[in-house]
């Protein structure tokens, strides 16, 4: 082999070796980048969609005849709007349709309270056949799922807690999935405006037998006690009216 051929052969070996080394380095770099990318994705926490809190007023009373009361209620809409109130829902108690619950969104708490004292409201209620003194309550809604759901039945749980943050930790620890398996889908979580330790929760009921069994169970009572619930909760079953 002459000297020129030997040099050319050695040059080809060096080039091939360099290419192999370069390919191997590129592969290792790609692996590291992929590993870093996977790690970054795995460590990204899930973020719940937050809502802008809003305020609601609940009006509860009994009526002589719902079919006669509803048109009178609808006719009073302009007065409610003048006081910053927007209709959200009208519900009737399951098994007792004469018991009505009205949910109004409030633009201003004081305006809403002024509305409840109107002589005109009292007269309108009397003409509409309202039989009992209306009960008014005011809440800050901090969670609200208004996505479409076919279930019209609702269970509302209202109770006082010693410490809201401690209660919320226990409530979230139970998980939505657990409550869903018990026939209850989370819809609304609200705190009292006049007393922030009053908690009002609304669930859509997909299976009323399961929901009642779960709410009345010792496990649920023990959970409430450990979460700092004080006194006996108010539990009401309603249906969204057509």
- C-alpha 181/C-alpha 85 separation (Å) is 35
Residue 50's pLDDT is 59
Residue 72's pLDDT is 96
Q: Maximum CA pair distance of the chain?
A: 119
pLDDT averaged per 10 residues in sequence order, the chain, 242 residues? 43 40 41 38 39 93 97 96 98 97 98 97 96 97 96 98 97 97 98 98 98 96 96 97 86
* Residues forming CATH 3.30.70.100 domain(s) in the chain: 50-139, 145-242
CATH number for the domain running over 145-242: 3.30.70.100
Contact 224, 171 (CB under 8 A): no
Residue 52's pLDDT is 85
Residue 154 DSSP symbol:
E
pTM of the predicted protein model: 0.78
Residue 51's pLDDT is 73
Residue 25's pLDDT is 42
Q: CATH classification of 50-139, choosing from 3.20.10.10, 3.30.70.100, 3.30.450.20, 3.40.50.300?
A: 3.30.70.100
Contact 139, 157 (CB under 8 A): no
């Amino acid at each position: 082999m002459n000297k020129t051929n030997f040099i050319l052969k050695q040059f080809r070996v060096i080039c091939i070796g360099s290419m192999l080394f370069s390919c191997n380095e590129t592969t290792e770099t790609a692996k590291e980048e992929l590993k870093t990318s996977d790690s970054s994705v795995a460590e990204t926490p899930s973020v719940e969609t937050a809502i802008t809190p809003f305020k609601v007023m609940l009006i509860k009373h009994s009526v002589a005849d719902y079919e006669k009361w509803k048109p009178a209620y609808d006719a009073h809409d302009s007065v409610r709007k003048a006081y910053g109130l927007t209709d959200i829902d009208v519900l009737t108690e399951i098994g007792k349709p004469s018991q009505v619950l009205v949910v109004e969104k409030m633009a201003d708490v004081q305006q809403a309270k002024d509305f409840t004292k109107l002589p005109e409201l009292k007269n309108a209620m009397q003409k509409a056949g309202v039989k009992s003194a209306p009960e008014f309550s005011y809440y800050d809604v901090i969670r609200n799922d208004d996505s479409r759901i076919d279930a019209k039945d609702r269970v509302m749980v209202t109770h006082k807690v010693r410490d809201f943050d401690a209660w919320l930790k226990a409530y979230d620890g139970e998980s939505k999935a657990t409550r869903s398996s018990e026939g209850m889908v989370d819809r609304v979580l609200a705190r009292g405006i006049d007393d922030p330790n009053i908690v009002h929760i609304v669930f859509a009921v997909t299976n009323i037998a399961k929901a009642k069994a779960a709410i009345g169970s010792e496990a649920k009572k023990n959970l409430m006690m450990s979460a700092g619930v004080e006194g006996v909760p108010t539990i009401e079953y309603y249906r969204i009216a057509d």
